[in-house]
């Protein structure tokens, strides 16, 4: 659906500033989406300080920390792919994009094992064991699965975007003269990273 | 007439033949004008469906006792009526239809910033609508929670809440993308010379609206998803049995849904401003005040959601603060009303149908606004909360305000969109009947509310009988008016085209191009060297 009926004669409109403005606005809405969840988290933490405190310690800080580092590095590699594009180095751009995608996969694998361990211990939303615990625990783990799950979905969406960008770079449609798409992909990936930077302390660190 | 442009006529956006023919030429077109019509037709269809449901409810309420349906059906009906009217008709509202059509034209652009995204938004809108419809007709029946989906009932009812809520989420997504598209369009695509303060006031209203869409919708979106997970996975965010807090749901819901009222009404106010200015043949009074009041409404509108929860359990301090802020947010709305009046003062007013619609709007909007103050002050709200008074108030605002403005805009821009003129006399008669019907339908509800009749019940005590009967008769009068208005417009659409590029002596850019506009709107991007409403001899 590149050109269609009524835009056929319109000259292809390219406005990198507008495209980036659009992306920033979208990122803004994503932050509000998570912002509402942070409010819910704060309210329930305020109401159940002791249970949240104890439940916090159940989480595996090491895995959380490793995943934080992975995402930080991936943010850097995405930034490097943009720099590479600005220098006109298509091959390097693609390599950095691939590394980023690889790191994302590692993140998800870690997440899988982390969640798996919890579920193995009978801790998952609606599980009998969880429901036998206190209200604070139910809410903490409910929020934990919901928020990290939503974040994981964002990782997957980010990966789809980056794969698409990768294809466009490969085709030469994204090139040194027009790479707003690459920048936008990078921006989205930074967002995914940023959200994790908030999730990590909230669930793993605050004691 | 705008003289020069009429000499050479180009094929209009309606006639233009692109790569896709027939229906596909519409369903795959990224032309903002065709997308606008897609929205317009779908919205009006949903509106009419909602009206039919409203009329059935009124028949049930014609007399005490059961008439045509039992309590369960009535509960489902007001829920689906509310959902349809709110999410499928009036939230996309004037923004999706007239905004899409005229925003690019009024700022001198050929299209919106992201035409494909624009089409995608419409598909999301229809997708959301279809999901809601599936939710209504499958599973264990249509939701009966009211359009507000209050927990914990929305977690407990056996009806098909999950699908409906998910549909509403998708609709919200569509709304966000439209808002985003419009903001970028306004920032990036204005014609040379058109500074922010040379934009028509409809555009300012659209700008405020778009920001609200962006800022408020994600909150309710995620809240709906939480309800889904509460139901499907039993998480318990809002379930008191698991420590969740239903009041928190109400907060999150109204943090969006109060600003949503402004998503509905701001574009309406923008269109009314255009209409009043055009037909008064004067420069609008207080341009900057109107522009800024749109933004003020957008931002103060965020801080008043608590007025829906005066009886839900909040501290007295919170209630008083919310009450105070509610009174403050009335100021920018009042500014607009005063500016409209001042614009008409000493104008040479041309009494055309769109102007009459605007006057009808003004009349009912004022009643709606003033009764809003009754609900905004804690002491009186506690008395009328959840009564028919509230139902009357929001129909006066949402239907009388945004709904009538929708039709005002339709009559104002109809000749531009289709290059044809409707029968003005019939239009006026239809409006008059509709207006009488409207007030007969809803005004008795104020009285019923003060007498103490609660909302959301299929039955009532015998002492409420007379006003209810009057109100039901009003709904039939209103329906008659509506039929006349719509048939009149449909007939005009079938008539042969005329050359009416500027039938109202409008001064904004859309009146300087041919009717219906060409695919590109402007063969040459105009250069702007004066304010939008300046009276210039041509
Ligand atoms: C002929 C037109 C209409 C009629 C006869 C009508 C009638 C009604 C009635 C009888 C109720 C239920 C009152 C109750 O028992 O609580 C209702 C509720 C409602 N109406 Fe309308 N209405 C009409 C148009 C509209 C329009 C145009 C809108 C919005 C744009 C609208 C929005 C609503 C909403 C949001 C509710 C509340 C639903 C709930 O309680 O969850 N209505 N209407
Ligand atoms: Cu409100």
Q: Which ligand is nearest to the CA of B402?
A: 1
Give dist(CA A151, CA A162) in Å, integer: 16
* Residue % of chain B over a pLDDT of 90: 88
| Cβ contact B19–A3 (<8 Å) | yes
**Minimum-distance ligand to the CA of B308?**
2
Give yes or no for residue B4 having a pLDDT over 70. Answer: no
pLDDT band at B8 (very low <50, low <70, confident <90, very high): low
Instruction: Give the minimum alpha-carbon distance from B481 to chain A in angstroms, rounded to a whole number.
Output: 37
pLDDT band at B377 (very low <50, low <70, confident <90, very high): very high
Question: What local confidence, expressed as pLDDT, does residue B497 receive?
Answer: 86
Asked whether B475 lines ligand 1 (CB < 6 A), one says yes
**C-alpha count within 13 angstroms, C-beta hemisphere, residue B525:** 12
Is there a contact between B113 and A15 if contact means CB atoms under 8 Å apart? yes
Per-residue b/e over A24-56, b at no fewer than 16 CB within 10 Å? ebbbbbbbbbbbbbbebbeebbeebeebbeebb
Nearest Cβ partner for B243 among A1, A3, A136: A136
Long-range contacts for A160-166 (Cβ within 8 Å, ≥24 apart)? A161/A185, A161/A188, A161/A189, A162/A78, A162/A97, A162/A100, A162/A101, A162/A104, A162/A189, A163/A101, A165/A97, A166/A94, A166/A97, A166/A98, A166/A101
3-state secondary structure of B12: strand
Give the model's pLDDT for residue A8.
37
- Contact B28/A5, CB-based, under 8 Å? yes
As given in the structure block, the two tokens for residue B336 are 């607009």
Q: What residue has token string 């009812």?
A: B157
d(CA A155, CA B95): 32
- Which chain A residue shows the shortest CA-CA distance from B248? A40
Please report which residue ranges of B377-423 form alpha helices under DSSP H: 378-384, 388-394, 404-418
Domain extents in chain B: 31-512
Would you state the pLDDT for residue B208? 95
The two three-digit tokens of residue B187, written as one number: 């920032």
Please give the backbone phi and psi of residue A9, each rounded to the nearest 5 degrees, phi first. Answer: -90, -15
Question: Cβ separation of B180 and A3 shorter than 8 Å?
Answer: no
Calculate how far, in angstroms, residue B475's C-alpha sits from the geometric centre of ligand 2: 25
Q: How many Cα neighbours within 13 Å face the side chain of B338?
A: 9
Contacts of B114 in chain A (CB under 8 A): 22
Question: For B241-250, what is the mean pLDDT?
Answer: 94
ipTM value? 0.92
Q: Which residues pair with A178 in a beta bridge?
A: A175
CATH of B31-512, one of 3.40.50.620, 1.20.120.140, 1.20.210.10, 1.10.287.130: 1.20.210.10
Q: List the single range of A70-79, B124-133, B523-532 with lowest mean pLDDT.
A: B523-532
> Is the Cβ pair A7, B31 closer than 8 Å?
yes
Q: How far is B100 from chain A (nearest CA, A)?
A: 15
* Ligand 1 neighbourhood includes B398 CB (under 6 angstroms): yes
- Chain A residues with CB-CB distance to B29 below 8 A: 4-7
**Separation in Å, CA B526 to CA B105, B192, B262, B529:** 10, 7, 32, 10
Q: How far apart are CA B266 and CA B93, in angstroms?
A: 10
User: Which of B50, B387, B394, B455 gets mutated to test ligand 1 (max ligand atoms within 8 A of its CB)?
Assistant: B50
- Whether the CB of B62 sits within 6 Å of ligand 1: no
- What confidence tens digit (pLDDT) does each residue in B381-398 have? 999 999 999 999 999 999
Residue positions counted in chain B: 538
Ligand in closest contact with the CA of B306: 2
User: Distance between CA A19 and CA A183 in Å, rounded?
Assistant: 10
Cis before B152? omega within 30: yes
Q: Which residue's alpha carbon is nearest to atom 3 within ligand 1? A: B54
Provide, as residue numbers in chain B, all residues whose Cβ is less than 8 Å from the Cβ of A46.
none
Which residues of B fall within a CB distance of 8 Å from A40? 226, 237, 248, 252
CB B110 near ligand 1, within 6 Å = no
Does ligand 1 have an atom closer than 6 angstroms to the CB of B82?
yes
Model pLDDT, residue B338: 94
Mutate to test the interface with B, among A1, A5, A132, A149 (most CBs of B within 10 A): A5
Residues B19, A28: C-beta atoms closer than 8 Å: no
Residue contact B235–A145, C-beta within 8 A: yes
Residues A40, B13: C-beta atoms closer than 8 Å: no
B513 vs B503: CA distance, rounded Å:
12
Three-class secondary structure of residue B525 per DSSP: coil
Contact A185, A78 (CB under 8 A): yes
B180 and A5 within 8 Å at the Cβ level: the answer is no
Integer Cα distance of A196 and A75 in angstroms:
12
Region for residue B505 given its phi and psi (left: phi exceeds 0; alpha: psi -120 to 50; beta: otherwise): left
Provide the b/e sequence for A156-193 (b: ≥16 CB within 10 Å). Answer: eebbebbeebbebbeeeebeeeebbbbbbbbbbbbbbb
Protein residue with its CA nearest to atom 7 in ligand 1: B54
Long-range contacts of B66-72 (CB under 8 A, 24+ apart): B66/B458, B66/B459, B69/B458, B70/B458, B71/B457, B71/B458, B71/B459, B72/B144
Query: What tokens were used for B242?
Result: 């698991």
Q: What is the pLDDT of residues B326-364, one digit of tens each?
A: 999 889 999 999 999 999 999 999 999 999 999 999 999
Q: Give backbone dihedrals phi and psi of A175, rounded to 5 degrees, phi first.
A: -145, -175
pLDDT for res A58 = 85
Confidence of residue B436 (pLDDT cuts 50, 70, 90): very high
Question: B181: which chain A residues are within 8 Å (Cβ-Cβ)?
Answer: 22
CA distances in angstroms from A168 to A1, A2, A165, B130, B200, listed in the order given: 15, 14, 5, 33, 39
Q: Which residue of A has its CA nearest to B225?
A: A146
- As a whole number, the mean pLDDT across chain B is 94
Q: Chain A contacts of B20, Cβ < 8 Å?
A: 4-5
Yes or no, beta carbons of B242 and A25 under 8 Å apart: no
Closest-CA residue of chain A to B18: A5
Q: Where are the domains of chain A?
A: 16-204
Is the CATH number of domain A16-204 1.20.120.80? yes
Q: Is the CB of B391 under 6 A from ligand 1?
A: yes
* B30 chain-A contacts, CB cut-off 8 A: 4, 6-7
Question: Quick one: pLDDT at residue B5?
Answer: 45
pLDDT at B21 > cutoff 60? yes
Location of structure tokens 């009276």: B535
**Which DSSP string do the residues of A103-165 spell out, in sequence order?**
HHHHHHHHHHHHHHHHHHTT-STT-HHHHTS-HHHHHHHHHHHHHHHHHHHHHHHHHHHHHHH
Residues B5, B12 contacting (CB under 8 angstroms): no
Give helix then strand counts, H and E, for chain B.
18, 0
Please indicate whether residue A12 or residue B128 has the higher confidence score (pLDDT).
Answer: B128
Tens-digit pLDDT profile for chain A (207 aa)?
333 333 333 445 688 999 999 999 999 999 999 999 999 999 999 999 999 999 888 888 999 999 999 999 999 999 999 999 999 999 999 999 999 999 999 999 999 999 999 999 999 998 889 999 999 999 999 999 999 999 999 999 999 999 999 999 999 999 999 999 999 999 999 999 999 999 999 999 886
DSSP A178: B
Which of B112, B243, B256 is the mutation pick for testing A, counting most A CBs within 10 A?
B243
Partner-chain residue, chosen from B183, B233, B235, that has the shortest CB–CB distance to A25: B183
For B243, the closest of A33, A125, A138 (CB atoms) is: A138
Candidates A32, A136, A139; nearest CB to B218: A32
Residues from chain A contacting residue B215 (CB–CB below 8 Å): 28-29, 32
pLDDT the model gives residue B7: 52
Three-state secondary-structure class, residue B47 = helix
**Residues 6 or more apart from B276 whose CB is under 8 A from it?**
B284, B340, B343, B344, B355, B358
Q: What is the CA radius of gyration of chain A?
A: 20
Contact B234 A26 (CB under 8 A): no
């Amino acid at each position: 659906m590149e050109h269609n009926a009524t835009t056929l004669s319109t000259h292809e409109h390219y406005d990198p500033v507008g495209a980036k403005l659009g992306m920033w606005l979208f990122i803004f809405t994503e932050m509000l989406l998570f912002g509402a969840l942070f409010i819910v988290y704060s309210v329930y933490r305020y109401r159940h300080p002791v249970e949240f405190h104890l439940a916090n310690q159940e989480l595996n800080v090491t895995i959380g920390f490793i995943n934080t580092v992975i995402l930080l590095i991936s943010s850097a590699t995405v930034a490097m792919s943009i720099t590479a594009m600005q220098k006109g180095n298509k091959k390097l751009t693609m390599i950095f994009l691939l590394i980023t995608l690889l790191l994302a996969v590692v993140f998800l694998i870690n997440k899988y094992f982390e969640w798996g361990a919890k579920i193995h211990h009978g801790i998952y939303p609606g599980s009998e064991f969880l429901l036998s615990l206190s209200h604070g625990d139910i809410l903490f783990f409910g929020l934990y699965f919901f928020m990290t799950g939503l974040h994981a979905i964002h990782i997957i969406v980010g990966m789809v975007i980056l794969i698409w960008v990768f294809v466009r770079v490969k085709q030469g449609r994204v090139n040194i003269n027009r790479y707003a798409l690459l920048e936008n992909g990078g921006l989205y990936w930074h967002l995914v990273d940023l959200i994790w930077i908030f999730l990590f302390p909230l669930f793993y660190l605050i004691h | 007439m705008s003289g020069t442009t009429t000499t050479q006529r180009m094929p209009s956006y309606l006639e233009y033949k692109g790569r896709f023919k027939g229906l596909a030429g519409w369903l795959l077109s990224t032309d903002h004008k065709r997308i606008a019509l897609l929205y317009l037709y779908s919205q009006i269809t949903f509106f009419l469906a909602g009206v039919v449901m409203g009329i059935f409810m009124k028949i049930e309420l014609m007399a005490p006792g059961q008439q045509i349906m039992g309590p369960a059906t009535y509960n489902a009906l007001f829920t689906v009526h509310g959902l349809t009217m709110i999410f499928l008709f009036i939230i996309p509202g004037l923004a999706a239809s007239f905004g899409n059509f005229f925003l690019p034209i009024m700022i001198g652009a050929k299209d919106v910033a992201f035409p494909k995204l624009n089409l995608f938004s419409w598909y999301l809108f229809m997708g959301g609508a279809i999901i809601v419809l599936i939710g209504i007709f499958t599973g264990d029946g249509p939701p009966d929670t009211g359009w507000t989906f209050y927990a914990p009932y929305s977690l407990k009812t056996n009806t098909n809440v999950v699908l409906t809520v998910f549909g509403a989420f998708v609709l919200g997504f569509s709304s966000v993308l439209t808002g985003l598209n419009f903001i970028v369009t306004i920032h990036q695509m204005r014609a040379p010379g058109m500074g922010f303060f040379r934009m028509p006031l409809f555009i300012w209203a659209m700008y405020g609206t778009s920001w609200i869409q962006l800022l408020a919708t994600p909150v309710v979106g995620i809240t709906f998803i939480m309800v889904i997970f509460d139901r499907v996975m039993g998480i318990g965010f809002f379930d008191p049995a698991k420590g969740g807090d239903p009041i928190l749901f109400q907060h999150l819901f109204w943090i969006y849904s109060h600003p949503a009222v402004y998503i509905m009404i701001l574009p309406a106010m923008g269109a009314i401003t255009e209409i009043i200015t055009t037909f008064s043949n004067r420069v609008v009074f207080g341009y900057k005040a109107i522009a800024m009041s749109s933004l003020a409404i957008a931002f103060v509108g965020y801080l008043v959601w608590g007025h829906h929860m005066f009886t839900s359990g909040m501290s007295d301090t919170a209630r008083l603060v919310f009450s105070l802020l509610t009174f403050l947010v009335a100021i920018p709305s009042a500014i607009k009303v005063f500016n409209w009046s001042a614009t008409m003062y000493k104008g040479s007013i041309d009494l055309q149908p769109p102007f009459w619609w605007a006057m009808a709007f003004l009349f009912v909007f004022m009643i709606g606004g003033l009764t809003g103050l009754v609900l905004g002050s804690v002491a009186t709200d506690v008395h009328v909360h959840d009564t028919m008074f509230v139902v009357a108030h929001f129909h006066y605002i949402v239907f009388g305000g945004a709904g009538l403005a929708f039709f005002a805009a339709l009559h104002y821009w109809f000749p531009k969109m289709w290059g044809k003129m409707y029968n003005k006399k019939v239009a006026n008669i239809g409006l008059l009947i509709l207006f009488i019907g409207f007030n007969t339908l809803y005004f008795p509800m104020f009285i019923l509310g003060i007498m103490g009749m609660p909302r959301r019940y299929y039955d009532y005590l015998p002492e409420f009988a007379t006003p209810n009967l009057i109100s039901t008769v009003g709904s039939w009068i209103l329906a008659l008016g509506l039929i006349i208005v719509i048939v009149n417009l449909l007939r005009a659409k079938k008539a042969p085209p005329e050359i009416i590029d500027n039938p109202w002596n409008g001064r904004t850019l859309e009146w300087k191009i041919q009717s219906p506009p060409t695919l590109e709107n402007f063969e040459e991007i105009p250069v702007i060297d004066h304010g939008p409403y300046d009276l210039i001899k041509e």
